[in-house]
């Protein structure tokens, strides 16, 4: 796996328009949403902006990220293997995976962080499971 992209952390009451501006400025494909205690409560991605805001005709200047984010995202520890992370992402149908260590947010993995060998191993594993059924 390649290194994680820099983290963009926002508060839940940030408007979608502002979140998208922050994502663009930080070259980030997602924002992690933290409560006042710095606890991870959600994730907001470019896909969320398109599917839950623009496609529904909502005004990004009037919608909070907390209204359209994915709440309580699945996380992984930094000790997990690349194939474990890929399995979680594949099974969940998402591209971003926050990394938590003892309750603290330490990073975020993206599907694009993985090497071709990691995807090939996942494909082999899935084929094997299909044949075993």
Q: Higher-confidence residue: 112 or 1? A: 112
* Its pTM surpasses 0.85: no
Q: Look at residue 1 in the predicted model and tell me its pLDDT.
A: 43
Q: Look at residue 83 in the predicted model and tell me its pLDDT.
A: 84
Exposure string for 63-100, b = 16+ CB within 10 A, e = fewer: bbbbebbbeebebbeeeeebeebbebbeeeebbbbbbe
CATH code of 9-132, in short, is: 3.10.580.10
The band of 116, judged by pLDDT with boundaries at 50, 70 and 90, is: low
pLDDT above 50 (res 99): yes
Q: Of 56-60, 85-89, 117-121, give the range with the top mean pLDDT.
A: 56-60
Give me the residue spans of the domains in the chain: 9-132
């Amino acid at each position: 796996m390649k290194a994680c992209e820099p983290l963009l952390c926002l508060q839940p009451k940030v408007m979608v328009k502002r979140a998208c501006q922050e994502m663009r400025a930080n070259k980030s494909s997602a924002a992690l949403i933290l409560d006042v205690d710095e606890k991870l409560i959600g994730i907001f991605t470019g896909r969320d902006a398109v599917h839950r805001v623009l496609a529904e005709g909502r005004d990004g200047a009037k919608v909070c990220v907390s209204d359209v984010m994915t709440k309580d995202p699945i996380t992984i520890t930094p000790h997990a293997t690349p194939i474990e992370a890929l399995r979680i992402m594949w099974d969940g149908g998402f591209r971003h995976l926050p990394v938590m260590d003892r309750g603290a947010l330490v990073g975020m993995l993206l599907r694009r962080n993985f090497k071709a060998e990691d995807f090939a191993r996942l494909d082999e594993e899935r084929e094997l499971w299909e044949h075993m059924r």
